[in-house]
Chains A and B, each alone.
Chain A
Amino acid sequence: MTIVVLTRSTPDTAARVEVDGSGSVTWGDAATVVNPWDEYALEEAILQAKAGGGKSVVAAIGPEMHVEALKHSLAMGLDEAVRVWDASLQDADSLAYATAAAAAVNKIGGVNLVILGKESVDVGTDQHNYQIARKLGWTMLSYVSKILAIDFAAGAIKVERLLEEGKQIVTSRLPAVISVMKDINEPRYPSFIGIRKASKAEIPVWSLGDLGIPALTMRTRVAAYKNLPPRDTRSERIEGTPAEQAAKLVDRLLEEKVL
């Protein structure tokens, strides 16, 4: 029984991210970390692999920068890591990423469950999650806030999903791709031994050729990045007693027509 998690490195959440003079996105010397949403996926993979008596594999699709996320994952306790990279994936769109990811899952083999973080903060979307499931031809269960039951032998899974209107309970079959929410678990910190071991790990790199897929055609691209427009920095401090502050604020909000 094998569980796969896909992850990537993204700038630290507290980093100032900007577009520089040459139009490139930069975060100065801020650290890169595992995509915040993936921490929950990685933790869940460790827990489920342990409970099910199987192994967990972490994969990243991307250049050298993403090795950091793979090492952090190994340090947390994922059993194996692999990276997929090919020059032609340089400007991969979600379809290309999903195609490569699905091929990697198939190459890993014997996979019953793929666990993904809810979205990737760098690209600001989750469409690749669903597209990986479709390329694999597997069930997709998104926004999973809890795995209520899982039976790898019987190929069945029951989950709680957190939707806009409330919580939904669904059952489905394995193999499946699931994306998980922040509430699902408490990601562990890597142990010192884990970090040391991971730093020495030799992580294989698979090319598209290794995955048996031809060069991919991109259907979308980012033409340019730009900085956010300057925010309206007008700011007014409202003084007085709480009652006075409240009255003045309501005056302003009525003027602004937001009430």
Chain B
Amino acid sequence: MTVFAWIETFDGKAIPARWEALVAGRMLADTFGVPLTALIFGTNAGAVAAEAGHYGADAALVCDDATLQDFRLEPYAALLTRLVQDQQPKAVVAAATSRGRELLAASAADTDSPMLADVLKLSVGDNGMLRAERGGYSGKVLSEAEVISGATQFVTVPSRAFKASDPNTSASAAVSTVAPALGEDEIATKVEGFQQEAGVVNLTDAAIIVSGGRGMANNPKDVPPGTEGDPAVWKAKDGFANVIQPLADALGAAVGASRAAVDAGYIPYAHQVGQTGKTVSPDLYIACGISGAIQHQAGMRTSQIIVAINKDAEAPIFRMARYGLVGDLYQIVPALTEEVKKRLGK
């Protein structure tokens, strides 16, 4: 009897949100009165297992096989499913990342098990079935979801919903090795290449986010003569690179954007926050030149502190901002960057 927590890794290291799965897992394990087992697959699994022990895992199952070097759903799901079938854990928990979501959903389908995804709050009912609070309708309402039946219950937790505790370096997990479930020739999907975005702070893991919107086009700089294309695009890109990025660097923040900015070609879609972009939950969200349409709000409404910087005093964003600065972002943001560097000594 145990609770499984899948510890996601990328490039041989546990991802930032991974220990949150252990926090949720620990709570479930304690409630069920069973040990917590961390599952780590892929490169460097042994080292990550040691860390898992510091964050609360009682035991760890590792599989450091070449077939698991890059995450692919087939071998990972086959292995998780086999472990679930063998050990019948009370629950399986993972961080709700792109990989966590598909791995748990796949294994839940394989084992005909219930799954609650992206849970904001989690508890165990008197009948031993999980109950969770989660968002619905683009986060505009909350739902109380519950498991009706199932020997093994699957749960994913979004980044920053369950804060990880400090590590206890004297604690350790008992590590065992398991064999992979599929051989390479049984796996249809092959990874051909990967283009990592250098130095990018993952939006969903970020504690601080600085975002730019359509207002980025109001750059006072002159477009260099001979520049092709829409001058607004050049101005906005210059703004993101030379005004937003420096503030983000000074704060150790990730850079986000509104849909308007992305659609206008000012910045790639990977940065989009909102209903058809990413949902984020930072401690601090600084919105620069963003009007604050409902669709954008849906993506950042759970930010702890929202700061709005906009020329338009009537922009909807000011209604949800804890601090509002009416003015030109091209004057305020550089001043803010200076001030941050001065005060935080960077």
- A residues neighboring B (CB under 8 Å): 10-11, 13-19, 25, 27, 36-37, 93-95, 98, 121-131, 133-135, 139-143, 145, 158, 162-173, 181-183, 217-228, 231-232, 234-238, 242-243, 245-247, 249-250, 252-254, 256, 258-259
Contacts and interface: CB of A to CB of B under 8 A. Distances in A.
A187 B286 CA distance: 31
Nearest to A220: B114
B323 A124 contact: no
A165 B196 contact: yes
Contacts of A253: 284, 305, 307, 323
Given A121-B138, A131-B109, A243-B335, A13 B295 contact: yes
Interface stretch (B59-67, B142-150, B178-186, B226-234): B142-150
A167 B191 CA distance: 11
B113 interface: yes
Contacts, number: 262
Contacts of A121: 137-138, 275
Given A162-B270, A182-B277, 9 more contacts: A95-B108, A124-B135, A126-B102, A165-B196, A168-B193, A172-B190, A231-B320, A235-B318, A243-B338
Interface string B325-346: 1111001101110111001100
A258 B305 CA distance: 8
B208 interface: yes
B98 interface: yes
Contact of B324 (A27, A141, A235): A235
Contacts of A223: 131, 144-146
B163 interface: no
20 contacts: A16-B294, A17-B138, A126-B101, A126-B102, A128-B105, A131-B106, A140-B102, A165-B197, A166-B195, A166-B197, A170-B192, A219-B115, A220-B146, A225-B143, A228-B301, A238-B325, A256-B305, A256-B322, A258-B304, A259-B284
A11 B136 CA distance: 12
Most A CB within 10 A of own CB, among B135, B189, B295: B189
Interface of A, helix, strand, loop or mixed by DSSP: mixed
A95 B109 contact: yes
Contacts of A224: 143-144
B137 A219 contact: no
A242 B335 CA distance: 6
B249 interface: no
Contact of A228 (B10, B141, B148): B141
Most B CB within 10 A of own CB, among A18, A165, A250: A165
Most B CB within 10 A of own CB, among A19, A123, A124: A124
A217 B131 CA distance: 18
A145 B312 CA distance: 35
A217 B113 CA distance: 11
Contact of A143 (B74, B98, B139, B275): B98
B23 interface: no
Contacts of A227: 141-142
A183 B109 contact: no
A129 B73 CA distance: 13
A181 B304 contact: no
B140 interface: yes
A254 B320 CA distance: 20
Contacts of B101: 125-127, 130
A47 B125 CA distance: 48
Most A CB within 10 A of own CB, among B74, B98, B275: B98
B148 A221 contact: yes
Contacts of A168: 70, 191, 193-195
Given A36-B275, A220-B145, A221-B148, A13 B138 contact: yes
B117 A127 contact: yes
Nearest to A155: B188
A172 B208 contact: no
B289 to A, nearest CB: 14
Nearest to A167: B195
B145 A222 contact: yes
Contacts of B141: 17-19, 25, 225-228
B219 interface: no
B295 to A, nearest CB: 5
Given A13-B294, A246-B338, A133 B323 contact: no
A122 B131 CA distance: 19
Contacts of B172: none
